[in-house]
Structure 1
Amino acid sequence: MPDRLRSALAGEARGIARSIRRAATSAGPERDTAVQALKAAAAALAAWALAGWWWNAPMALLAPWTAVLLVQSTVYRSVWSATQQFAVVATGTVIAAAAATLTHDVLAAMAIALPITVLIGQYSRFGEQGWYAPTAALFVLTYGSYGPMEIVHRLLETLLGAVVGVLVNALVLPPVHTGGVRQLRARVPSDCADLLRDAADGIENGYDSAAAEDWYARALRLGTTVAELESARRRSDESRRLNPGRRLRRSAPHPPAGGGDFRWERVAGHLSAVMRSLAETVRERPRFAAPPETALGALAALLRSAGEVCAVDADRFKAADADEERAVRAWEEAHDASRRLASHHTDPHGGPVTASLGELTAAATRLLDDLEAVAAPPAARRDR
């Protein structure tokens, strides 16, 4: 076995072992995945016991096949997918039965039914379930079972599997996804704080093109993290719809309020503007002249204090005793630094006014405008 392949397989095995260990020792996505897998298997067994053993249905396979597919990541998605799948399977079954009855030939019936069912499967309202239309048609035509009673049995068995899958997902540890929102909501200000502090240190100690480009890349990645937060929040909201978990087994913690998400999206944009301006002044062929040293000193103080505001906001999701006064003091210090930075536009002794200085001042001012609400005490904020 080549060394590269052996190393890849060993790394994959270690990753699987870590996932198994995390699933067994702590709550998280690995454990959620394991629980959903066990629930899907249980749903399939229950559907088979009802359709194959108790009912002795002629097409009992359809019940566990449907049940295992409908243990989705949320109860709402299970219900919606069950509705889609039953409609799709019924449509594909009826079209295939009609084509077989009309042609009395499997090949000719496929030539009629498959183009129609594949087109139906592309209908956006059916989502991922759309492809079960041609699958259902193929089941009907290849097994040659398209009599009226056989069609009714297929639909009833599919409906039985759908009901079992939905009930198992809703009644057995119904999934609620709130942890991802809380983790990402803390990560966004934490990453902002790290970037602001690193940039402030770099400005004070001297920075080069590589450092500035790295800051700019990190600022752009903040936008990706905010997008992940928005996606996680949508998933969390969906997981609470039609979910009886609070009444049956626990009161799931509510995710942090989302009123401030747009503010952090703007903060990420302001940071991108600041870091881009800094990078453009130290490239091999700079587009703009660098601001004077005194202006860069005020900018470094502003960024460091703004980083403290972000750090306090991150602490609010990690500990109950975040230092609220520290946030207020840091914002006031940042505001003072902002005034010193802006004074270079009017002070004749403050050095030349450059295009980069104007852009940095504008972006930093917008940044502080959005961080003012973040620095406010909890009682004064409406987005939490």
Structure 2
Amino acid sequence: MWERIAAGWRWLRREVAAVGRTVRFALRASGPERDAMVQALKMAGAAIAAWALAGWWLKAPLALMAPWTALALVDATVYRSLRSGLQQICVIVIGAVWASLAMALANGSTLGAMMIALPVLALVGTYRRFGAQGVYGATTALFVITYGAYSLSEVGHRMLETCIGAVIGITVNAFVFPPVHLRNVREQLQRLPRDSADLLRHMSAELREDWGTAEAEEWRDRARRLQPILRELADARQWTDESLRLNPAWNLRRTGPHPPPESEDARWHGIAEHLSVITRTLATSVDEESHFARPTPAFLDRYAELAERTAEACAAEADLFDEAGDTPSVRERQHRAARDAWQLYDDLADAYGEHTGPSAAAMGELLVETRRILSALPLPEGSGPQERKRGLRRGRRPDPPVNGVAEAGG
């Protein structure tokens, strides 16, 4: 029992520490934590304003409907608030009218009206056009039935209270620090080159040592972890596009620079795919049942150096995606690393023609995919890779041939 108490105490301390960190982040700098805090305060403010108007000033008989609706409509984007507002008004109208009819059919019996109204409204709420707002039809019916107000004038009051809450919720979300999701795309684009650089550095260090199946499988696993980042990047791009729709903040004032163009998403999607092929090739080369053979130690030593320089170029790109890090010195560091990587690649490609046999197949595949990664990394104008072809011309083609080996040679 004491162990469970101790474990629970440790969990509570971790949760309190996490909450404290979140509060500090929200107060110190802009970020997801501050965005969440602002949205929460807007929800509370909209609900208070709706109650003040409907309950305190207009003396509405069921003023609860106004703050309840306002609270629900301070959503993550202005477009979503407008869409949810229309959906919720439609659902609440259906719920209020059907609940009033059920009360009339049940002669004012609360239980009878619930048995008539709730099954139908629960099914109506599953209609996909209503989205997440569908549940409000049944809850509105519960308010109407338990309150016992089902005359035509009282149903009209429910509509008025709902409209008041919807207008206040949408207005607050649209004109009080309107949410614009520009930061998430840049953050996800930073993660891709940063994690790619970590993978390449890890490979570079272990390729110089005695590595085997376990190390190669770890590289493959790290390359596979890039795929969830790509999916999160696509989601962030969708949120960004939606947050700019019908958003007065983007027209009235600039809230920040645009995120990088979508071409960056496609570029890093390709680099992630090439890294997956490289790690798969290395893992296959140590598989006894594969037609690939392990590259020679001399090739692996030089390829490790190439991976290290490519990692430096990727790490510099991660800094470039940070607005504060996009400086001439960082760009020069990225260009220098990319130029050095191309030089190392050219040397390896020149020497590739001297290799034959099954090991040459793995080497050719590694060179092909690495060239594709380097081709995706930016270089200054006029400093492209040297187009050398001596590598394959000096030696005979490997046996068996590899698709795309000619590309590896330049």
Q: What is the TM-score with the length of structure 1 in the denominator?
A: 0.88
Instruction: Report what 2:85 is aligned to.
Output: 82
State whether structure 2 residue 239 is matched by structure 1 residue 232: no
Contact 1:39 1:168 in 2 (8 A): yes
Q: 1:102 to 1:322 in 2, by over 3 A?
A: farther
Instruction: Report what 1:200 is aligned to.
Output: 204
Instruction: Tell me the secondary structure at the aligned position of residue 94 of structure 2.
Output: helix
- Counterpart-to-counterpart distance in 2, 1:7 and 1:49: 43
Instruction: Report what 2:14 is aligned to.
Output: 11
Aligned pairs for 1:1-384 within 5 A: 2-104=5-107, 105-246=109-250, 248=252, 250-282=254-286, 287=290, 288-316=292-320, 317=322, 318-339=325-346, 341=348, 346-347=353-354, 349=355, 352-353=358-359, 355-371=361-377, 374-375=378-379
The amino acid that maps onto 1:303 is A
Contact 2:26 2:34 in 1 (8 A): yes
Q: Which has the higher contact order (CA 8 A, sep 6+)?
A: 1
- Counterpart-to-counterpart distance in 1, 2:234 and 2:380: 23
- Counterpart-to-counterpart distance in 2, 1:286 and 1:337: 31
Contact 1:63 1:158 in 2 (8 A): yes
Contact 1:295 1:344 in 2 (8 A): no
Cα deviation digits, residues 48-91 of structure 1 (max 9, x gap): 11000110001100001111111112222211111111111112
The amino acid that maps onto 2:38 is V
Q: How many residues align?
A: 374
Gap regions ≥5 residues in structure 2: 385-410
- Counterpart-to-counterpart distance in 2, 1:51 and 1:225: 46
Contact 1:305 1:330 in 2 (8 A): yes
1:151 Cα deviation from its structure 2 partner: 0.8
Instruction: Tell me the secondary structure at the aligned position of residue 59 of structure 1.
Output: coil
Instruction: Tell me the secondary structure at the aligned position of residue 263 of structure 2.
Output: coil
**Percent of paired sites with the same residue:** 45
1:108 Cα deviation from its structure 2 partner: 3.7
1:45 Cα deviation from its structure 2 partner: 0.9
Cα deviation digits, residues 252-303 of structure 1 (max 9, x gap): 33222222101211211111121122223346x6644312223323432432
Gap regions ≥5 residues in structure 1: none
Q: Is the deviation greater in 221-230 or in 322-331?
A: 322-331
Cα deviation digits, residues 158-214 of structure 1 (max 9, x gap): 110010011111121212222222222222112212211221222123323333222
- Counterpart-to-counterpart distance in 2, 1:314 and 1:264: 11
Cα deviation digits, residues 8-39 of structure 1 (max 9, x gap): 11111111111112212222111111111111
1:312 Cα deviation from its structure 2 partner: 2.8
